[in-house]
Amino acid sequence: MESDIAKRILAAVKRASHEREQVQIVLKGQYLEAYELLKDAETAGLTPAIIGPPGVGKTLLCRYYAMMTGRPFFWVTLDEGTKPSHLIGSFNPAVVLEKGFTIDAFEPGPLTLAMVTGGVFVANELNRASEYVQNVFLEPLEERSYYIPHIGRIKADSSFFFIASMNPAELAGVHRISEALRDRIQVWITLTYPDKDTELEIVRLHCREHYIPDDVLEKIYAIVARTRSHSAIEKPASIRATVSIAKLAAEHMKREGSIDDEELGRIARHVLIGSIKTRPGVKKEEVVNSIIEDVLKAKEAIG
């Protein structure tokens, strides 16, 4: 007899597998350029990496690329704890006891699945993995095949496509990329925070159900943009933060009919406090407050 929670999990799995992936993206400026580069790299048989700070749309762009080319999408986020088996798969010990090291006992990992189904595979934060794990990718990239002990050599489907994604090397906690792997990545695509028009279009796309006046959006963008040029900030606010502030502001306007600078500042504070990282020795609250005050005062003076 299935428990209630088991039934719910099964139903959720069914829902997820029936949902066709619909990726919404603003494809202009740097995103269009990066998309075209991905296409050209694949056609030319070259392996690309996308380099950029967190939250600039690296994963989204790859997901969109997979959708547009009608392929399944697989991704892993690597770190110091990632093991080769997390990528390739492993044998289920219970089944091995019963049947031995047969294909039935093998549970494929995302890299194996992407190779055999001809999917798009993204290795997020590739430079955070140990060199040992980075080297797992050498054979799939070079030979488009991989040897799995007890099973044999598997050959990648011809539409298997590998994309690496990385934060710029100066961010903390990042290993270097191994020389051998660097050598097999030939196209380096950089993404950064988008220009104002593109970012506001992204925000509008994510807030389609809401009405947000232009002047409010401008203020939100100005606050977020300031975190990206501030010398005391190590990790600035990403597009997610802009979208979150806009959504909260929209909810406030829906409830109250309007929003003033004081309320907008309060909302921005609630989002920024958790989404930025300041340099050691700097008080985050003070930096956030001064940015919000400066921006809103300056806007008031103009407006």
Binding stretches for ligand ADP (CB under 6 A):
25-26, 31, 52, 54-60, 202, 205, 239-240
- 96's CB contacts (< 8 A; 6+ apart) are 105
| Nearer to ligand ADP among residue 107 and residue 195 (C-beta) | 195
Judged by CB, which is closer to ligand ADP: 108, or 247?
A: 247
Nearer to ligand ADP, 179 or 209 (CB): 209
Shortest Cβ distance from residue 191 to ligand ADP (Å)?
7
d(CA 129, CA 62): 20
Q: Which region, left, alpha or beta, applies to residue 146 given φ > 0 means left and ψ of -120 to 50 means alpha?
A: beta
Choices 52-60, 63-71, 131-139, 252-260; region in contact with Mg ion by CB under 5 A: 52-60
**Residue 239 partner contact from Mg ion, ligand ADP, none using kind-dependent CB cut-offs of 5 to 8 Å:** ligand ADP
- Shortest Å distance, C-beta 15 to ligand ADP: 21
Q: Is residue 244 close enough to count as binding Mg ion by CB under 5 A?
A: no
Answer whether 126's CB lies under 8 Å from 79's CB: no
Q: Nearest approach, Cβ of 181 to ligand ADP (angstroms)? A: 20
What distances in angstroms separate CA 67 from CA 19, 38, 87, one per listed residue? 13, 13, 22
Report the partner that residue 246 touches, choosing among Mg ion, ligand ADP, none (CB closer than 5 to 8 A by kind). none
Stretch that binds Mg ion, among 23-31, 54-62, 171-179, 253-261 (CB under 5 A): 54-62
Measured at CB, which residue is nearest to ligand ADP? 57
The CB-of-4 to ligand ADP minimum distance in angstroms stands at 33
- Return the beta strands (E) in the chain as ranges: 48-51, 73-77, 89-91, 106-108, 120-124, 145-148, 152-155, 161-166, 187-190, 233-235, 277-278
| Nearest residue (CB) to Mg ion, 164 versus 217 | 164
Instruction: State the amino acid at position 66 in one-letter form.
Output: A
205 interacts with, out of ligand ADP, Mg ion, none, CB within 5 to 8 A per kind:
ligand ADP
Q: Please state, as a whole number, how many other Cβ atoms lie within 10 Å of the Cβ of residue 190.
A: 13
Please report whether residue 59 would count as binding Mg ion according to CB under 5 A: yes
**Separation CA 202–CA 291 (nearest Å):** 23
User: Which listed range, 56-64, 180-188, 217-225, 266-274, lies at the site for Mg ion (CB under 5 A)?
Assistant: 56-64
* 86, burial (CB in 10 Å: exposed 0-12, middle 13-18, buried 19+): middle
Nearer to Mg ion, 38 or 296 (CB): 38
CB of 242 to ligand ADP, least distance (A): 9
Find all residues with CB under 8 Å of 15, minimum gap 6, and list them: none
Chain contacts with Mg ion (rule: CB under 5 A): 58-59
